[in-house]
Amino acid sequence: MIINRDYSLNMWQSIYQKLRYREWSWARVVSDLFSPPVLWGVFAFPIAFRFADSAAQALLWAWTYTILVCIIPVSYIGWMVYRGRITDMHMPLRRERIVPLLVSIVATTIAWWTLRFMGAPPVMPLLALVSLAQLVVIVIITLVWQISVHAMITSSTTIATAALFGMGYALLTVPIVMLVSAARLNLKRHTPAQIVVGAAVGALVPVLVLVII
């Protein structure tokens, strides 16, 4: 246990050092704050609290989703960064994305089944199912091209907010989509076309999932 704990500590210290000495900018901060795992994890909590009968239920369902869909895949990516197999946490190179995305697909599939087994309200497994559909679409596109996953997830969050909380709240998220898109362009991580297509795909996937089911 001591060896495992020391290894984990060294891994995160290595990642911290890489983060510490890189160039920071407003665009990098925005990209980190509104990264897909962060958005997915944060969004799970208001959804859970809206449909749960108690705070304990809401926290259980939200944390189940967040740990499986967000924390486990991010931890894997952090491990790969530590090993030097991935450039950084945002995986700028297309070839770096495939394996972490497959890990995310497996973890998200487990989240979908787990939430159903726990008796969570249908909206929680649906959230996992939409996340799973998005991941599958990202993998397929990544095989031939690269779109902005940041733009994709922020736009899908806007659509989901409109469906679950109303257009008023959804409109409040539109500036986030624009800010994140501007940040990705500022960092030169994507072309305008990759941003636009990412946002369009992100908006379309939740709608298609709802139509199909």
Rounded to two decimals, the pTM is 0.84
Residue 4 is predicted with a pLDDT of 56
- Residue numbers of the chain with a pLDDT score lower than 70: 1-24
53-102 tens-digit pLDDT: 999 999 999 999 999 999 999 999 989 888 888 887 777 777 888 899 99
Distance CA 98, CA 94 (A): 8
**Whole-number pLDDT of residue 1:** 46
pLDDT of res. 11: 56
